[in-house]
Amino acid sequence: MFDKLHEECAVFGVSVKTDEAAGITYNGLMALQHRGQEAAGIAVLSENSILFHKNAGLVSEVFTGKVLQKLPKSRLAVGHTRYSSGGTAKNIQPFVNEFLTGRTATVNNGKIINADEIRKQLQACGLQFEADGHSEVISSLIAYNAMKSGNILEGTINAVSQLDGAFSLVILSNENKIIAVRDSNGFRPLCIGKNDSGMVVASESCAVESCGFTFMRDVAPGEIVVIENGEITHTTTFEPKIKKKFGLCIFEYVYFARPDSVIDNLSVYEARFNMGKVLANEFPIDADVVCGVPDSGLEAAAGYADESGLPLVTGFVKNRYIGRSFIFPTQSQRENAVRIKLNPLGASVRGKRVVLVDDSIVRGTTSAKIITALKCAGATEVHMRISSPPFKHVCNHGTDIDSAENLIANRMSIEEIRQHIGADSLGYISLDGLVDACRKSNLPFCDVCFSGGK
């Protein structure tokens, strides 16, 4: 509805010395809700059994007080919150597997390119599948290899070595283990936190800190971390059979992650602030004020204002009470959807030449409405600045663009886009400028969505 990319999901795992694993996981998923609002699930280890609850909805909708109370007290748990561009309720995670030598619950963030091939191989071995997504394939592959080897760690190593694509995994085993795995390219974030009661694993450090743990470090690309009784007991690395050179998805810094997270040694807030500073140098303009599009354009707008010397103002008031399932009964109301969620603040922009900063233009349907709203509120000029390069290529590793035809930058030149959205000028950050803004990260980046892999 609001013309933004969506990321697949978030993962969380906990191993503590008290019986609070389910509640901690719930809090962790609440902190990661921005990564997926379609469904949520939690699995806990109770004695030798893995029990779980999962359903469609926001975390707070799926896990009411009564539902949480019904989950057994446990010291180990994994959780997941999901966004998907398709699929059915059967794709909701965690996926729980029972096999001759054990039980596992697996949660995943990412997308596996060779999932269909692996599914056929496992079906030939007698395994059956209910879901049509990639994560059930991963969980079944891990369980199958664990059964063959008789060891969950060895089975995990053998399984993940066969995967081609993006994955950040957290596995709960009835051997009282939490196993965290990040793919060898480090496409998606995964980090570890610790306090006196034990350890957590999460997609972002904001969830670690929100649950009262101290951020320790990121899981390194290609690393497997085993946690038992609230302590790291083993770490190892794996070599993928299909080797490719990519890196962390740079869109994590542009849009996906929360600004209070730190990913691979770089603050998301700092990265976005730097993007705004680069934009001010690459595309200066004679204007009166700067404002950002809530929420992910705000930090870049602050950076633009800081570098340009222009005042930073609040351009929009965001309605924070519209849920994921907000319904617009008529076409005219649907056309006003953006104004329902983001209403311009006339006192800030009336009679002003405005620099408007946003993180991206994907399909181009929303920017025009936002600019029109600003001008209706009295802005005399609106100069749009985008903190990512033109988005031209389909991502195969977890975002929801299914066709390059849906990307406005593939159909129009920058000048044509400017005219289409009604901006007085339009500037996208350069790819070199974006990379420079994220230079403190200790990993290379995947920027295929901008560069096409060139």
Q: Which residues of 209-218 are buried (b: 16+ CB within 10 A; e: fewer)?
A: bbbebebeeb
Q: Coil, strand, or helix at residue 323?
A: coil
Helix (H) or strand (E) holding 168: strand 165-173
Say how many C-beta atoms besides its own lie within 10 A of residue 437's C-beta: 26
Phi, psi of 447 (to 5 degrees): -125, 25
- Reference 42, options 9, 8, 76, 6; nearest CA is 76
- Reference 8, options 108, 141, 140, 130; nearest CA is 108
Starting at the earlier edge strand, list the strands of the sheet with 353-358: 289-292, 353-358, 381-386, 425-428
What domains sit in the chain, N to C, each tagged with a CATH number? 9-245 (3.60.20.10), 269-451 (3.40.50.2020)
Residue 430 is classified by DSSP as P
pTM attached to this predicted model: 0.93
Q: Which two tokens stand for residue 148?
A: 């063959």
Cis bond upstream, residue 94 (ω within 30): yes
Side-chain-side CA neighbours of residue 309 (13 Å): 3
- Which residues does 10 contact at the CB level (< 8 Å), separation at least 6? 29, 32, 35, 36, 80, 81, 109, 202, 203, 204, 207
By annotation, the residues acting in catalysis are 9
| Residue-by-residue pLDDT tens, the chain, 454 positions | 346 665 569 999 999 999 999 999 999 999 999 999 899 999 999 999 999 999 999 999 999 999 999 999 999 999 999 976 555 688 999 999 999 889 999 999 999 999 999 999 999 999 999 988 889 999 999 999 999 999 999 999 999 999 999 999 999 999 999 999 999 999 999 999 999 999 999 999 999 999 999 999 999 999 999 999 999 999 999 998 877 777 999 999 999 999 999 999 999 999 999 999 999 999 999 999 999 999 989 999 999 999 999 999 999 999 877 655 455 556 566 556 777 888 999 999 999 999 999 999 987 878 999 999 999 999 999 999 999 999 888 777 656 565 677 789 999 999 999 999 999 999 999 999 999 999 998 788 999 889 887 6
Identity of the amino acid at 247: G
CA angle 16, 22, 24 (to 5 degrees): 65
How far apart (Å, rounded) are the C-alpha atoms in residues 227 and 178?
Answer: 5
Q: Which two tokens stand for residue 448?
A: 């295929």
How far apart (Å, rounded) are the C-alpha atoms in residues 347 and 354?
Answer: 13
Q: Which residues of 13-40 are buried (b: 16+ CB within 10 A; e: fewer)?
A: bbbbeeebbbbbbbbbbbbbbbbbbbbb
- Is the Cβ–Cβ distance between 435 and 446 less than 8 Å? no
Q: Which two tokens stand for residue 107?
A: 């949660």
